[in-house]
Amino acid sequence: MSRAARLLELLQLLRRHRRPVTGAALSAELGVSLRTLYRDIAALQAQGAPVEGERGLGYILRPGFTLPPLMFSGEEIEALVLGSRWVASRGDDKLARSARDALAKIRAVVPPALRDELDASTLLIGPPPGHAATGDDNRLELIRRAIRAGRKLTLTYQDGNGTPSTRTLWPFALGYFEHVRVLVAWCELRQDYRSFRTDRIQKLTIEESAIPRKRAALLREWKLRQQIPE
């Protein structure tokens, strides 16, 4: 790997970490010595990259830093195409359209050789199951909007036994599975985390009031309870 490619890879690694990461961990991921890693960090800082930290404490890339269009690897191209095709096939109308638009934007900025690889990707998504969740596109759009805005949701929900209840939720995640879509939220009624199938939501309202905690904190705490790795 050339030094230029290694520096770009180091930037990508730093972007992947939200908290300071030690030089030892970075050097192990890159497959270089710790001495080389320190030289690379210094080179990035000298070129204006906002890498903060020091030896023994760890390094982090300051939020807001954006990279110019990068040369994607073949595997990265395949991952982008496969993920976009899955969302276009399984997502609701608005999300599917956004996936196609995002792929078109990527196609417009990559070099011609990579554009050809993108167009010729042979990783395909099979047809969605015939009994997949349908008809709740508007609910999904409202839920995503509430999550992005950090607003509470009030909904009327019918459980598996057909029993209705009204809940006020702090929504923070939306899971897309083959047959169902699942809202994950803190439920004020139960004072605990709960999951709700979107096809069982009878009525849905976005409230004016904001959720009292950051959604990233809710997601992190929920993952810990579910023993889901970061």
| Residues recorded for the chain | 230
The reported pLDDT for the residue numbered 68 is 55
Sign of torsion over alpha carbons 67, 76, 90, 210: negative
Entry pTM = 0.62
DSSP 198: G
Taking the C-alpha atoms of residue 148 and residue 171, their distance in angstroms, rounded to an integer, is: 9
Residue extents of the structural domains in the chain? 3-61, 74-119, 137-226
DSSP 3-state assignment of 66? coil
Amino acid identity for residue 7 in this structure: L
Place of tokens 């496969």: 82
DSSP 3-state assignment of 112? helix
CATH code assigned to 137-226: 2.30.30.520
Amino acid identity for residue 169 in this structure: L
Q: 197-209 pLDDT, tens per residue? A: 999 999 999 999 9
The better pLDDT of the pair 55, 24 is held by 24
* 178: CB partners within 8 A, 6+ apart: 90, 128, 129, 132
CB 211 within 8 A of CB 150: yes
The reported pLDDT for the residue numbered 74 is 72
Reported confidence tier of residue 193, pLDDT bands at 50, 70, 90: very high
Quote the mean pLDDT of the chain.
84
Whether pLDDT at 191 is above 70: yes
CATH 1.10.10.10 assigned to 3-61: yes
Taking the C-alpha atoms of residue 163 and residue 54, their distance in angstroms, rounded to an integer, is: 57
The reported pLDDT for the residue numbered 116 is 77
Best mean pLDDT range from 46-50, 112-116, 124-128, 219-223 = 219-223
Taking the C-alpha atoms of residue 183 and residue 7, their distance in angstroms, rounded to an integer, is: 39
Strand extents, DSSP E, 31-79: 51-54, 58-61
CA geometry: angle at 145 spanning 108 and 220, to 5°? 95
CA 72 to chain centre: 19
Q: 157-190 pLDDT, tens per residue? A: 998 888 999 999 999 998 888 778 899 999 999 9
